[in-house]
Amino acid sequence: MIQEMEKMIQAALGQIETMLDTKHVVGEPLTVGEYTIIPLISIGFGFGVGSGTGKSEEFIKGEGVGGATAGGGGLKPVAVVVIGPEGAKVEALKGATASLVESLATSVKENLPQRKSKQE
């Protein structure tokens, strides 16, 4: 039983290890004009492993052995790096409901040089 639990733990840790790659934390760069935008992502996960044995003398008589493993995880964009002619800047994504597209658009708009109208 212990060997089976060790195998389950090793399998779970192997899957977690694949998630902890920098490719998952730092996204693919996106170029818009003179600006390059790189998303930064937070990874969260959890897992558990358990086993047990039991013996019953009551309703159903007998013995049993069991074990299980379970886990879950998620990715959440937390910031973007904006690189342009003025240098590099990290922009935090505000609020849990902010979409990456909205934040990217706002960040690019704030960092683009303002055009002067013909009247000026």
Q: What is the pLDDT of residues 9-42, one digit of tens each?
A: 788 777 777 766 666 788 889 898 899 999 888 8
Does the structure show a pLDDT above 70 at 98?
A: no
Structural domain harbouring 74: 2-10+19-53+66-111
112 vs 84: CA distance, rounded Å: 9
Strand pairing partners for 30? 37
Q: For residue 61, is it within any domain?
A: no
What pTM did the predictor assign? 0.52
CA angle 87, 88, 89 (to 5 degrees): 130
Torsion of CA 10, 11, 13, 18, to 10 degrees: 140
Q: For residue 74, is it within any domain?
A: yes
Q: For residue 95, is it within any domain?
A: yes
- CA 29, distance to chain mean position in Å, is 17
Q: For residue 89, is it within any domain?
A: yes
Give backbone dihedrals phi and psi of 8, rounded to 5 degrees, phi first. -65, -40
Q: For residue 60, is it within any domain?
A: no
Q: In the structure encoding, which two tokens stand for residue 91, read together?
A: 């922009």
Q: For residue 23, is it within any domain?
A: yes
Segment 50-55 shows an average pLDDT of: 82
Please tell me the predicted confidence (pLDDT) of residue 77.
Answer: 83
Strand pairing partners for 87? 84
How many domains, in total, are found in the chain?
1
Q: For residue 59, is it within any domain?
A: no
Q: For residue 116, is it within any domain?
A: no
